[in-house]
Structure 1
Amino acid sequence: MGTYVLVHGASSDSTYWYRVTPLLQALGHEVITPDLPVADPTAGLAEYTDAIVDAVGDRPGVILVAHSMAAYSAPLACERIAVDLLVLVAAMTPRPGETAGDWWEATGQVEAQREQDLREGRDPDAPFDPLVTFLHDVPPEDLEEVLAQSVPVQSDRPFSDPWPASAWPPVPTRFLLCRDDRLFPADFQRRIVPERLGITPDEMGGGHLPAFSRPAELVEWLERYRSTVVGAAR
């Protein structure tokens, strides 16, 4: 069995994985879900990376899963811990020296989201509504439980740190986009991921928060990666 390290994105904490963790544990895996210091106004990418590294310790050959903005810190952790596989889920794709604050305009995300909103009949200038942008695909019977999860206030600090890596880490990497993602539209990711990572993303159903809306499907993908990438290398 393996060790999964699941890293949440911005404005979130480890409870994001509360539906995924028991599914992986039921398969016999160890699951580690570090909390990044998102509410700490002094914590930047270095501290985010430290949180991942400290949680992993000296465990060998982990499968490191990074959701959304965690793609800014998880690759940095790969330089300090033993990682067999890096999986990016509905993630950002930084370039060396690029801040997370600059990424949106640099990649064309702003235009891509606006175009998709217009195409699908949403007002792109409407006030932000998490039910519209993030939770639109959570099954109604699960929505109340999901809404009960805590949402920490995200500090602006890590968005100003230039990504310090000179290149992506030399570990096997897979990218999983979500076809109904309203924040990072599928067509946008289909363009950006090959440009920035040199790989073709895989695709699953659901919106930007698949651990809430489609945990079983997400676990199926993670297990497929584990067996085909990690298993084949051993």
Structure 2
Amino acid sequence: MAVYAFYSAGGFAREIHAGFVHSIGMVDNGERGEVVFIDDAAESQGQVIRGSRVISYEEAKSIPGIKVNVAFADPKLRRKKVEMCAADGLETFSSFAPTSIIGDDVKIGHSAIFAHNSMVTSDAQIGDSFHCNIYAYVSHDCIVGDFVTFAPRASMNGRVKIEDDVYVGTGAIILPGKTDRYLTIGKGAIIGAGAVVTKDVEPGSVMVGAPAKPR
């Protein structure tokens, strides 16, 4: 039996759990699988949440063929855990809620999470380990790097490029780029909740307000 593990038993992992269990992603070569949580906290291990066991990372490594999706929202922590899993030879999987929408000519990397009512419209390129939370969307002709997080209702309009390790907060809006030039969000930037991004963002910046300015 295939075993799928969400690394984290926190709130976001619990949110996406049901959507994954009820999606076609639960079927691996015609064989129905088990879903578990991995949690590093000893007090959580051994519990059963939403009908799924909570196990340690060490136990996860002992399960043949286990597939892991790291569900931490923090891009830096998620990258660290994904690299650890890769070093230990663990495979990854992507989770698409039944109500998520993936449009035409969209390329998505490994280990993505698309929550309920999230969307990529068309002609977009998404990197590895992307998190698209509830009601968040990526519009046409966009490029998203690796380990990017969209919090609920984050909105990315057309012709925007987001580099690696960016966090886009709840309700933030990234306005569209131009036909001949992407609006670019630099690596490791944080876009605050409710911010409205109207121009390029420097790497590592923290942007807040409408229009968004460095904090």
With normalisation by structure 2, the TM-score equals 0.33
Q: Which has more strand, going by share of residues?
A: 2
- Higher RCO (CA 8 Å, separation ≥ 6 residues): 1
With normalisation by structure 1, the TM-score equals 0.31
